[in-house]
Amino acid sequence: MAAIPRSFKLLEELEKGEKGLGSESCSYGLADSDDITMTNWNATIIGPPHSAHENRIYSLSIECGESYPDKPPTVRFLSKINLPCVGTTGVVDPKKLKILNLWKRSYSMEVVLLELRKEMSAPANRKLSQPPEGSVY
């Protein structure tokens, strides 16, 4: 496979996000639409049904550094959440989320968001008591 450079990979992800071609349960876009480096992104995850997260919308920030997609992005919850892989400041601990720990270049921001959503609805996590809705770090 021809290794797609960072910028064209991010442009593909941006286009998918802009056109809404991806999953309906998450969204993502550039934090600054003028940022030619495409480093900082905003994202949302819609809480999965049948869990403590139902009807909640979580805001996140994603940073795709210079080594993305060779290295995974840094993901941070802006909305407060009680989830084992999320630290006290909202940062997702890469060691505790398999997809970040065993990152592959073919993955994307959307894959990470969907994996986090899956974590929210995992049997061990879905009943965890949650901070008040709307609270932020």
Q: Which residues bind other proteins (CB under 8 A)?
A: 1-5, 7-8, 11, 14, 33-34, 36, 38
47 Cβ contact list (under 8 Å, min separation 6): 53, 54, 55, 56, 57, 58, 117, 120
Q: What's the closest the beta carbon of residue 29 comes to other proteins, in angstroms?
A: 12
32 versus 93: smaller Cβ distance to other proteins? 32
Q: What's the closest the beta carbon of residue 4 comes to other proteins, in angstroms?
A: 7
Number of H helices, E strands in the chain: 3, 4
24 versus 34: smaller Cβ distance to other proteins? 34
63 versus 133: smaller Cβ distance to other proteins? 63
Buried/exposed code over 27-62 (b: 16+ C-beta within 10 A; e: otherwise): bbebeeeeeeebbebebbbbbbeebbbeebebebbb
Q: What's the closest the beta carbon of residue 108 comes to other proteins, in angstroms?
A: 16
Q: What's the closest the beta carbon of residue 109 comes to other proteins, in angstroms?
A: 16
